[in-house]
Structure 1
Amino acid sequence: MSFHGGCSSAQPVVDKFLALLRRCVSTKTLQQVHSQMLVNSLDKHNFLLPKLVDVKDFNYASLFFSHIPKPNEYTYNIMIRGLTTTWKKYDIALNLYYKMKILGLKPDNFTYPFLFISCANLLALDHGRLAHSMILRCGLNFDDHTSHSLITMYAQCGDVGYARQVFDEITEKDLVSWNSMIAGYSKMGFAGDAVDLFQKMKDEGFHPNEMTLVSVLGACGDLGDLNMGRSLECFVEENNIAVNSYIGSALISMFSKSGDVSSAKRVFDEMKKKDVITWNAMITGYAQNGLSNEAIQLFNSMKTAGLKPNKITLVGVLSACASIGSLELGKYICAYASENGLLNEVYVATALIDMYAKCGSVDDAFAIFQTMPEKNKVSWNAMISALAFHGRAEESLSLFTRMEKEGRVSPDDITFVAVLSACVHAGLVNEGKRLFNLMSTSFGLVPKVEHYSCMVDLLARSGRLNEAWDLIGKMPGKPDEVLLGALLGACQKFKNTDVGEKAMKLLLTIEASNSGNYIISSKMYANLRRWDDSAKMRVLMKEQGVAKTPGCSWIEVDGRLHEFHAGICFNSLYSEEIYKVIELLIDEMKIEGYNPNVSLL
Structure 2
Amino acid sequence: MEYGELGLGIHCLALKIGMEKNPFVRSSILYMYAKFGVVDVAARVFEGVEGTDVGCWNAMIGGYAQCGCGFEAMKTVSVMHSLGVLMDELTFINALNGCTVIGALDFGNQIHGLVVSSGAELSTSVTNSLMDMYFKNGAKDPALKLFGAMQHKDVVSWNTAFSWYCQDADAREVAVLFHNFLVTGLKPDSATFSILFRFCGDILRLDLGLQLCTLDFHFGFHGEAHVSSSLINMFSNCGAVEIARLVFDSMPFKNINNWNEMISGYNLSCKMEALQLFRNLRELGLKANECTFSCSLEACFKTANLQVGRQIHGIIIKTGFASHGYTCSSLIKCYIGFGLLDDSLKFLSGIEYLDLASWSAMISGLVHQGLTSEAIKFLNNLKAYGEEPDEFNLASILNGCAKLIHSPYMDSKSKGEKSNPGKDSGLIQPEV
Q: Secondary structure at the match of 1:307?
A: coil
- Tell me if the contact between 1:507 and 1:517 (Cα under 8 Å) persists in the aligned partners: no
The answer to which of 366-375 and 267-276 deviates more is 366-375
- Tell me if the contact between 2:233 and 2:261 (Cα under 8 Å) persists in the aligned partners: yes
Cα 1:140–1:474 shift into 2, 3 Å: closer
- Tell me if the contact between 1:314 and 1:333 (Cα under 8 Å) persists in the aligned partners: yes
Q: Which of 292, 309, 313 in structure 2 is aligned with 1:415?
A: 292
* One-letter identity of the residue aligned with 1:458: C
How far did 1:390 drift?
1.9
Give the equivalent residue in structure 1 for 2:421: none
How far did 1:243 drift?
2.9
Give the equivalent residue in structure 1 for 2:374: 502
Q: Which of 32, 36, 41 in structure 2 is aligned with 1:153?
A: 32
Paired residues for 1:248-397 under 5 Å: 248-287=127-166, 289-291=167-169, 293=171, 294-387=173-266, 389-397=267-275
- Tell me if the contact between 1:459 and 1:468 (Cα under 8 Å) persists in the aligned partners: yes
Give the equivalent residue in structure 2 for 1:424: 301
Cα 1:166–1:512 shift into 2, 3 Å: closer
Paired residues for 1:518-557 under 5 Å: 521=404, 525=407
How far did 1:481 drift?
4.5
Q: Deviations over 1:144-203 (max 9, x none)?
A: 222223333333344434433443343334112111221233234332322222122123
- Tell me if the contact between 1:253 and 1:285 (Cα under 8 Å) persists in the aligned partners: no
How far did 1:332 drift?
2.7
- Tell me if the contact between 1:489 and 1:520 (Cα under 8 Å) persists in the aligned partners: no
CA distance in 2: counterparts of 1:256 and 1:349, whole angstroms: 26
Q: Which of 313, 316, 338 in structure 2 is aligned with 1:439?
A: 316
Paired residues for 1:100-111 under 5 Å: none
Which entry has the higher C-alpha Rg, 1 or 2? 1
Cα 1:482–1:141 shift into 2, 3 Å: closer
Cα 1:164–1:383 shift into 2, 3 Å: farther
- Tell me if the contact between 1:279 and 1:302 (Cα under 8 Å) persists in the aligned partners: yes
Aligned residues: 398
- Tell me if the contact between 1:299 and 1:317 (Cα under 8 Å) persists in the aligned partners: no
Give the equivalent residue in structure 2 for 1:511: 394
Gap regions ≥5 residues in structure 2: 381-388, 415-432
Q: Deviations over 1:389-427 (max 9, x none)?
A: 2253433233333333444x5322222211111111111
- Tell me if the contact between 1:186 and 1:215 (Cα under 8 Å) persists in the aligned partners: yes
- Tell me if the contact between 2:367 and 2:396 (Cα under 8 Å) persists in the aligned partners: no
How far did 1:516 drift?
5.2
How far did 1:521 drift?
5.0
How far did 1:130 drift?
4.7
CA distance in 1: counterparts of 2:144 and 2:58, whole angstroms: 28
- Tell me if the contact between 2:332 and 2:362 (Cα under 8 Å) persists in the aligned partners: yes
Cα root mean square deviation, aligned: 3.4
CA distance in 2: counterparts of 1:201 and 1:275, whole angstroms: 30
Cα 1:459–1:235 shift into 2, 3 Å: closer
How far did 1:500 drift?
5.4
Give the equivalent residue in structure 2 for 1:172: 51
* One-letter identity of the residue aligned with 1:216: A
Name the TM-score, length of structure 1 as normaliser: 0.58
- Tell me if the contact between 1:427 and 1:458 (Cα under 8 Å) persists in the aligned partners: no
Q: Secondary structure at the match of 1:308?
A: coil
Give the equivalent residue in structure 1 for 2:108: 229
Cα 1:138–1:468 shift into 2, 3 Å: closer
Give the equivalent residue in structure 2 for 1:459: 335
* One-letter identity of the residue aligned with 2:280: R
Q: Which of 78, 85, 95 in structure 2 is aligned with 1:216?
A: 95
Give the equivalent residue in structure 2 for 1:398: 276
Q: Deviations over 1:510-529 (max 9, x none)?
A: 42488854665567x38x99
Q: Which of 48, 65, 70 in structure 2 is aligned with 1:186?
A: 65
* One-letter identity of the residue aligned with 2:76: L
Gap regions ≥5 residues in structure 1: 1-122, 492-498, 534-601
CA distance in 1: counterparts of 2:49 and 2:96, whole angstroms: 25
Q: Which has the higher contact order (CA 8 A, sep 6+)?
A: 2
Give the equivalent residue in structure 2 for 1:489: 368
Percentage of pairs with the same residue: 25
CA distance in 1: counterparts of 2:40 and 2:379, whole angstroms: 41
* One-letter identity of the residue aligned with 1:436: H
How far did 1:255 drift?
0.3
CA distance in 1: counterparts of 2:235 and 2:182, whole angstroms: 23
CA distance in 2: counterparts of 1:532 and 1:166, whole angstroms: 66
- Tell me if the contact between 2:367 and 2:397 (Cα under 8 Å) persists in the aligned partners: no
CA distance in 2: counterparts of 1:299 and 1:138, whole angstroms: 55
CA distance in 1: counterparts of 2:303 and 2:145, whole angstroms: 49
How far did 1:218 drift?
1.7
* One-letter identity of the residue aligned with 1:231: Q
* One-letter identity of the residue aligned with 1:415: T
Give the equivalent residue in structure 1 for 2:386: none
Q: Deviations over 1:72-129 (max 9, x none)?
A: xxxxxxxxxxxxxxxxxxxxxxxxxxxxxxxxxxxxxxxxxxxxxxxxxxx9555544
CA distance in 1: counterparts of 2:113 and 2:131, whole angstroms: 14
